[in-house]
């Protein structure tokens, strides 16, 4: 086993595991409250890859029936700089989208461009409704008019990793949300 402790790359833990658990429970309870009819289809649409840990925990806590699917979009390259266009890399392929309430599951809202684009895209496809649950939100970074329907935690403008979020594909498996040491994002 290589002697490398990934925790040493973290400046400080911003949201510890127990806090994440209660945040996710709160969102799950809100979803159960807002989608009360178990006979209507609710699709949790995870945006790969950053949402997978949040989505996995969230779906276990939601009591009503859900279906799951995934899309992959690109808005970021390998580092921290935002690019201006959104590309669909993996699309949602479903015939019967008209009877679907779609809840997009996202790791973090930054400029807001990804979610604004996806929301319009899925509404145009004819979904019954489109909402978004985001674990994290950086409102100070917003470049377009977009607000998620469910937000776990608003954070300041710091680059965070863990609980699904990466920097150049690393740190996704950390069980907490932490801030990377400055020198590692340079």
Between 35 and 71, CB nearer to ligand IMP: 71
Instruction: Identify the three-state secondary structure at position 166.
Output: coil
- Residue 110 in the binding site for ligand IMP (CB under 6 A): yes
Q: How far is CA 62 from CA 6, 44, 88, in A?
A: 31, 11, 28
Closest approach of Mg ion to the CB of residue 34, in Å: 23
Choose the catalytic residue: 57, 107, 110, 137.
110
Query: To the nearest whole angstrom, how small is the minimum distance from the Cβ of residue 107 to Mg ion?
Result: 5
Q: What is the chain's length?
A: 186
CB of 115 within 8 A of CB of 148? yes
Q: Which of 151, 165, 176, 178 touches ligand IMP by CB under 6 A?
A: 165
Q: How far, in whole angstroms, is CA 131 from its chain's centroid?
A: 12
CA-angle at 55, arms to 63 and 118, nearest 5°: 110
SS3 66: coil
Q: How far is the CB of 35 from Mg ion (least distance, A)?
A: 23
Say which entry of Mg ion, ligand IMP, none residue 155 contacts (CB below 5 to 8 A, set by partner kind): none
Residue from 46, 50, 164, 178 binding Mg ion (CB under 5 A) = 50
Residue 169: CB minimum distance to ligand IMP, A: 11
Query: Cα torsion at 9, 15, 145, 133 (round to 10°)?
Result: 120
Query: Known catalytic residue: 145?
Result: no
Within residues 88-107, the interface with ligand IMP by CB under 6 A covers 106-107
Q: How many CA atoms lie within 13 A of 112 on its CB side?
A: 14
Q: Give contact residues for Mg ion (rule: CB under 5 A).
A: 50, 107
Give the active site residues: 110
Q: Give contact residues for ligand IMP (rule: CB under 6 A).
A: 50, 75-76, 82, 106-114, 159-161, 165
């Amino acid at each position: 086993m290589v002697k490398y402790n990934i925790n040493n790359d973290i400046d400080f833990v911003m949201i510890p595991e127990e806090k994440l658990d209660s945040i996710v429970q709160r969102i799950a309870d809100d979803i159960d409250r807002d989608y009360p009819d178990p006979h209507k289809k609710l699709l949790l649409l995870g945006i790969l890859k950053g949402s997978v840990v949040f989505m996995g925990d969230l779906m276990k806590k939601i009591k009503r029936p859900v279906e799951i699917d995934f899309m992959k979009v690109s808005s970021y390259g390998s580092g921290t700089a935002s690019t201006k266009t959104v590309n669909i890399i993996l699309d949602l392929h479903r015939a019967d989208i008209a009877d679907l309430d779609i809840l997009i599951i996202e790791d973090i809202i930054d400029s807001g461009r990804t979610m604004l684009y996806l929301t319009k895209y899925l509404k145009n496809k004819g979904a019954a409704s489109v909402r978004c649950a985001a674990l994290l939100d950086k409102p100070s970074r917003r470049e377009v008019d977009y607000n998620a329907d469910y937000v776990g935690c608003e954070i300041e403008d710091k680059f965070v990793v863990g609980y699904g979020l990466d920097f150049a594909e690393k740190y996704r498996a950390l069980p907490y949300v932490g801030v990377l040491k400055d020198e590692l994002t340079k």
